[in-house]
Homo-oligomer: A and B are copies of this chain.
Amino acid sequence: MRSAEFDREHVLRQAMTTFMQHGYSKTSMQKLTQATGLHPGSIYCAFNNKKGLLLASVEQYQKDKNEQFAQLCASHNNIKSALHAFLADIAHPCASSEATKVCLLTRTLSEIDGQDEEVTQVLSNNLSAFERSLESVLNKAMDKGEISSKPSAKERAQFLVMGIYGLRTYASTGNDTQALSRLSEQLLEYVLR
């Protein structure tokens, strides 16, 4: 026997960055071999094809984002400061030109829309899973009496998710940092009203 030589997580993080930077279709296999250090044959052996590598990258992305979010929640003792930090983490890179300014899930979903049912499903599922995890955080805040129960956690979570999508797109139309942070504030104010 002989085991694979590459570090799967490392490869997937390099791949996801490349996908975020150039989008799915403009990320050529050549770019992927350069970014990951793997040769075409190895990629095809480990992930079937380009789409397989995308799906594996998406899985890794979601895993990383979930961990980040859990840590962020653990390090704040009230929902307002937690979500404030969360939105700042989104808005700040948005105004920069880093690859991480976009969301792998929404960018790919928008690009792939109507082209591949499987990828669309996976992305949608991951996005709604994250909405539910926001909902659960809001529910906990209700239990602790930090926010009222009148607009339900679900409604709040939906509006927040919509706002995040909007923020990201808004940021891509030109980096008005001032407006972006003002919009984040207003969004948070409304969600925690």
Contacts and interface: CB of A to CB of B under 8 A. Distances in A.
| Count of identical protomers in the assembly | 2
Nearest to A107: B110
Best-buried of A127, A128, A162, A163 by chain B (most CB within 10 Å): A162
A161 interface: yes
Interface of A: 21-23, 25-26, 97, 102, 106-107, 109-111, 113-115, 123-124, 127-128, 155, 158-159, 161-170, 172-174, 179, 182-183, 186-187, 190
A158 B183 CA distance: 8
A123 B25 CA distance: 20
Given A162-B167, A164-B166, A179-B158, A111 B173 contact: no
Given A111-B110, A113-B23, A128 B173 contact: yes
A54 to B, nearest CB: 15
Contacts of A110: 107, 110-111, 169, 172
